[in-house]
């Protein structure tokens, strides 16, 4: 979320990242589609059908109506449909970019404004760091309103590439027909379908993440230049040349592993939790069972995205660590040997969820700020 954003996260990081991971994810993670709904019973035999209730004629499936492959961008309107998704994704990305920008600066530990004294629900005095709105106002004072969109171009390209990649993969590897099951007698069959669908979604997410990650790295580095007022990464092409010259091919994929792990944990956790809740806790006899099942995955997406936030944080920090920018060097950050080293360091500092909240940001106990 990533700040994943990239992810148009995605709904989340993306789907379901909300304020905790609008970047990211969301986008990209929001593609999990392995929920289980109620299965309609087979119609009665023709000789037993009541004359007042004739058996309805068979309707073509949504997949066949969309085209032979049934995926995104299939059929005669494939280019138009895909272009529409890219355009909508670009609009959402542009609107949410200031949120991800502020989030990234907080993730790297840049706090240019002192905390203010406030009170908690118990009436005790606590120190609060500036919220998103105060932070954004500060950026506008320094760089103007256009400064809120620093690093937007590579992020737009990254999300567009991810969307096109997923659509192309659905054409080449079309998903199988989805049968809806919910009865507890069919749990083994239902679970197999959830595993199969989640595996398919995981494959698409991992491939799209790997192809779009170099642009994600460039976007992150463009944004954190605000910390040291650098201008090392100014354009996509020039940034590609600098990274390849200084870090080689591997420089484009720093921070990729924690992002991939976060995506995988999110997909499996969200889909399996939603499946077991819908199958075991929601009774088919309940009148609102269908409505509850429709919201289960959304709620699980929010919960799981919060649990997988440390992967997003570590991935973003590794993307800017030791790249020649002030935000990736001491005193803002030590030089990490690996993403595991980064994870352990944040864990010891109690900072694995740094930047997950953008509204009510209390000063941690280990901070250098003191309450007088």
Please give the average per-residue pLDDT across 335-360, as a whole number. 93
137: tokens are 């106002």
Residue 208 above 90 pLDDT? yes
Round to whole Å and give the CA distance between 24 and 4: 2
> So what's the pLDDT on residue 181?
47
Please give the average per-residue pLDDT across 105-125, as a whole number. 88
Is 35 within 8 Å of 293 (Cβ atoms)? yes
For residue 330, tell me if it sits in a domain. Answer: yes
Residue 145 above 90 pLDDT? yes
* β-sheet bridge partners, residue 361: 129
Round to whole Å and give the CA distance between 272 and 266: 10
Please give the average per-residue pLDDT across 339-355, as a whole number. 94
Per-residue pLDDT reduced to its tens digit, 36-57: 333 333 444 444 444 444 444 4
What strands, in cross-sheet order, belong to the sheet with 361-362?
116-119, 125-129, 361-362
111: which residues sit within 8 A by CB, 6+ positions away?
A: 129, 130
For residue 16, tell me if it sits in a domain. Answer: no
Is 127 within 8 Å of 117 (Cβ atoms)? yes
Going by pLDDT thresholds of 50, 70 and 90, the confidence category of residue 18 is very low
Residue 139 above 50 pLDDT? yes
63: tokens are 């997949």
Residue 286 above 80 pLDDT? no
Is 67 within 8 Å of 302 (Cβ atoms)? no
For residue 43, tell me if it sits in a domain. Answer: no
> So what's the pLDDT on residue 119?
83
Q: Residue with structure tokens 């399996």? A: 272
Please give the average per-residue pLDDT across 196-216, as a whole number. 95
Per-residue pLDDT reduced to its tens digit, 171-188: 888 877 555 444 444 666
Round to whole Å and give the CA distance between 305 and 1: 8
Weakest-pLDDT range from 201-215, 227-241, 271-285: 271-285
> So what's the pLDDT on residue 187?
60
Proportion of the chain above pLDDT 90, given as a percent: 51
What CATH number is given to the structural domain containing 197?
1.50.40.10
For residue 261, tell me if it sits in a domain. Answer: yes
Q: What is the largest CA-CA distance in the chain?
A: 85
Alpha-helical runs (H) found in the chain: 62-66, 78-107, 132-143, 152-172, 187-228, 236-247, 256-276, 289-307, 309-320, 339-349
Please give the average per-residue pLDDT across 87-112, as a whole number. 94
Going by pLDDT thresholds of 50, 70 and 90, the confidence category of residue 24 is very low
Round to whole Å and give the CA distance between 162 and 353: 26
Q: What angle in degrees, to the nearest 10, is found between the helix axes of 187-228 and 309-320?
A: 40
- Residue 5: DSSP 8-state: B
Is 40 within 8 Å of 61 (Cβ atoms)? no
Task: Round the average pLDDT of the chain to a whole number and report it.
Answer: 79
Round to whole Å and give the CA distance between 312 and 300: 18
Going by pLDDT thresholds of 50, 70 and 90, the confidence category of residue 342 is very high
Dihedral over Cα of 221, 223, 228, 232: its sign = positive
Round to whole Å and give the CA distance between 91 and 98: 13
Per-residue pLDDT reduced to its tens digit, 289-298: 777 888 888 8
Q: What does pTM read for this prediction?
A: 0.75
Residue 79 above 60 pLDDT? yes
Please give the average per-residue pLDDT across 203-219, as a whole number. 96
Is 182 within 8 Å of 190 (Cβ atoms)? yes
Dihedral over Cα of 95, 79, 12, 101: its sign = negative
> So what's the pLDDT on residue 77?
63
Per-residue pLDDT reduced to its tens digit, 233-271: 988 999 999 999 999 999 999 999 999 999 999 999 999
Please give the average per-residue pLDDT across 320-331, as a whole number. 93
Round to whole Å and give the CA distance between 255 and 129: 27
For residue 361, tell me if it sits in a domain. Answer: no
Rounded to 5 degrees, φ, ψ at 146 are: -65, -20
For residue 53, tell me if it sits in a domain. Answer: no
Instruction: Give the count of domains, the chain.
Output: 1
Range of the domain at 329: 81-349
- Of 1-5, 62-66, 293-297, where does the model show the most confidence? 293-297
Round to whole Å and give the CA distance between 139 and 146: 9
> So what's the pLDDT on residue 292?
83
For residue 178, tell me if it sits in a domain. Answer: yes
For residue 27, tell me if it sits in a domain. Answer: no
Is 215 within 8 Å of 157 (Cβ atoms)? yes
> So what's the pLDDT on residue 265?
96
237: which residues sit within 8 A by CB, 6+ positions away?
A: none
DSSP 235-270: SHHHHHHHHHHHH-GGGGGTTHHHHHHHHHHHHHHH
Is 102 within 8 Å of 135 (Cβ atoms)? yes
């Amino acid at each position: 979320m990533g700040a994943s954003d990239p992810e148009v996260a995605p709904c989340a990081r993306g789907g379901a990242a909300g304020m905790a991971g609008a970047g990211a994810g969301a986008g990209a993670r929001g593609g999990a589609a392995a929920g289980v709904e109620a299965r309609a019973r087979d119609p009665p035999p023709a000789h037993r059908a009541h004359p007042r209730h004739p058996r309805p004629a068979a309707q073509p499936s949504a997949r066949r109506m969309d085209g032979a492959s049934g995926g995104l961008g299939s059929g005669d309107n494939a280019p138009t449909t895909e272009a529409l998704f890219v355009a909508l994704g670009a609009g959402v990305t542009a609107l949410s970019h200031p949120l991800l920008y502020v989030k990234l600066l907080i993730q790297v530990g840049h706090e240019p404004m002192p905390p203010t004294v406030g009170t908690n629900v118990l009436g005790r005095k606590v120190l609060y760091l500036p919220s998103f709105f105060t932070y954004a106002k500060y950026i506008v004072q320094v760089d103007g309103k256009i400064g809120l969109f620093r690093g937007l171009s590579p992020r737009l390209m990254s999300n567009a590439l991810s969307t096109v990649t997923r659509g192309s993969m659905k054409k080449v590897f079309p998903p199988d027909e989805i049968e809806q099951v919910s009865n507890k007698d069919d749990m083994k069959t239902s679970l197999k379908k959830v595993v199969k669908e989640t595996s398919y979604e995981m494959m698409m997410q991992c491939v799209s993440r790997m192809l779009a990650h170099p642009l994600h790295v460039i976007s992150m580095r463009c944004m954190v230049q605000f910390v040291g007022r650098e201008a090392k990464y100014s354009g996509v092409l020039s940034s590609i040349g600098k990274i390849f010259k200084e870090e080689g091919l591997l420089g484009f994929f720093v921070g990729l592993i924690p992002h991939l792990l976060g995506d995988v944990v999110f997909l499996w956790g969200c889909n399996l939790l939603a499946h077991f809740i819908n199958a075991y806790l929601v009774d088919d006899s309940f009148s609102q069972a269908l409505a509850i099942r429709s919201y289960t995955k959304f709620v699980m997406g929010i919960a799981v995205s919060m649990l997988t936030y440390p992967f997003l944080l570590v991935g973003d920090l590794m993307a800017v660590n030791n790249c020649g920018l002030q935000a990736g060097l001491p005193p803002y950050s030590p030089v990490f040997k690996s993403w595991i080293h980064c994870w352990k360091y944040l864990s010891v500092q109690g900072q694995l969820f740094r930047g997950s909240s953008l509204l009510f940001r209390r000063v941690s106990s280990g901070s250098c700020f003191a309450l007088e």
